[in-house]
Copies of this chain bind each other. A is one copy, B any other.
Amino acid sequence: MILTVTLNTALDITYRVRSLRPHASHRVSEVAERPGGKGLNVARVLAALGHEVTVTGFAGGHTGAVLRAMLAGAPGAPADALVPVSGATRRTVAVVDERTGDTTQLNEPGPQISPAEWAAFLGRYQELLPGASAVALCGSLPPGVPVGAYAGLVRAARSAGVPVLLDTSGEPLRRGVAARPDVIKPNTEELAELTGSHEPLRATQDARRRGAHAVVASLGADGLLAVTPEGHWRAAPPAPVHGNPTGAGDSAVAGLLSGLVERLPWPDRLARAAALSAATVRAPAAGEFDHAAYTELLGRVRVTGAAGAAQAGSGPSW
């Protein structure tokens, strides 16, 4: 079982409007709702790849109830190990402008987590770890969760001998990296914020020096850049992919995790991650991936680089 942790789950709402104009009133022509938050998106893709997945984190209020009902009804539904909280799960609203195709995002902050609720989560996490072949720690922290939360969750996974991937940003990422996660998957912006460098290779190497065993940076249209104890590689689709990038990073995480538990060599994991990511950009619905595009792209992703070329760190690898 692969475990994904989403401390700030969300009910993702998508609105289509003819044209978004600030200070005007808009009639929404189409409404879509789905369970969201990075770890739930990762779980959805892992389930579609045939993996057994358990999701944990927090859910509460009427939005949490809707999220859990939708999760239970989804194809290949992941096991629901979410911890109930008294606050309401946040909503995110994505407003799609039909004229330009662009999206405007409104993200609620999330429920206040009490110390007792945080303790309940830690208990649940410790129960779940022994059954996990890998764990992904994903996304932002809701109010009330300590900023060093991911560092503790990384250490607990490592103590349990479970490979751990961290995908977050800002101070939670900075602290989490120092706890030596097996993989981090920052995007260009997150990587620059962590390291102060806007040069991807330099920043990726610096992120390893800060504690991550492997760093897989998602560089948007330029694909993935991986610096690992086994070597460093770039993986990119044969041509730039056009579409909606929402969820592309989460699909890349699913690709990396599934490749990890299947013990694929790094180049194959990266090809899968890059193909899934591109197939997500191509799918019409945000955060879904186009299965036919994935199969087709998988054989055409170019992976370049070399084993043994990593210039920093030499920790244990998996």
A66 vs B20: C-alpha distance when bound (angstroms)? 28
Interface-facing stretch out of A44-52, A100-108, A256-264, A303-311: A100-108
Q: Is A202's CB within 8 Å of the partner chain B? A: no
A103 vs B97: C-alpha distance when bound (angstroms)? 18
Interface-facing stretch out of A25-33, A157-165, A271-279, A282-290: A25-33
Contact between B107 and A27 (Cβ–Cβ < 8 Å)?
A: yes
A141 CB to nearest B CB, Å: 13
Q: Is A17's CB within 8 Å of the partner chain B? A: yes
A220 CB to nearest B CB, Å: 15
A80 CB to nearest B CB, Å: 17
The interface bits of chain A over 135-172 (1 if a CB of B lies within 8 angstroms of the residue's CB, else 0) are 00000000000000000000000000000000000000
Contact between B22 and A104 (Cβ–Cβ < 8 Å)?
A: yes
| Given contact pairs A62-B62, A65-B62, A103 touches B23 in the complex (Cβ within 8 A) | yes
The interface bits of chain A over 39-76 (1 if a CB of B lies within 8 angstroms of the residue's CB, else 0) are 00000000000000000000000100110000000000
Q: Is A95's CB within 8 Å of the partner chain B? A: yes
Contacts of A105 in B (CB 8 A): 24-26
A8 CB to nearest B CB, Å: 12
Please pick, from B22, B91, B93, B108, the residue contacting A22 in the complex, using a CB distance under 8 A: B22
| Given contact pairs A62-B62, A62-B66, A93-B93, A107 touches B26 in the complex (Cβ within 8 A) | yes
Contacts of A107 in B (CB 8 A): 25-28
Contact between B24 and A104 (Cβ–Cβ < 8 Å)?
A: yes
A24 vs B106: C-alpha distance when bound (angstroms)? 9
Contact between B22 and A20 (Cβ–Cβ < 8 Å)?
A: yes
A66 vs B88: C-alpha distance when bound (angstroms)? 12
A sample of 11 cross-chain residue pairs with beta-carbon separation below 8 angstroms, ordered by A number, consists of: A13-B91, A15-B93, A15-B106, A21-B22, A22-B97, A22-B104, A28-B107, A28-B108, A28-B109, A93-B93, A93-B106
Interface, chain A (partner B; CB < 8 A): 13, 15, 17, 20-29, 31, 62, 65-66, 91, 93, 95, 97, 100, 102-109
Q: Rank and list the top 6 A-B pairs by shortest CB-CB distance, nearest first.
A: A25-B105, A23-B102, A28-B108, A20-B22, A62-B66, A26-B106
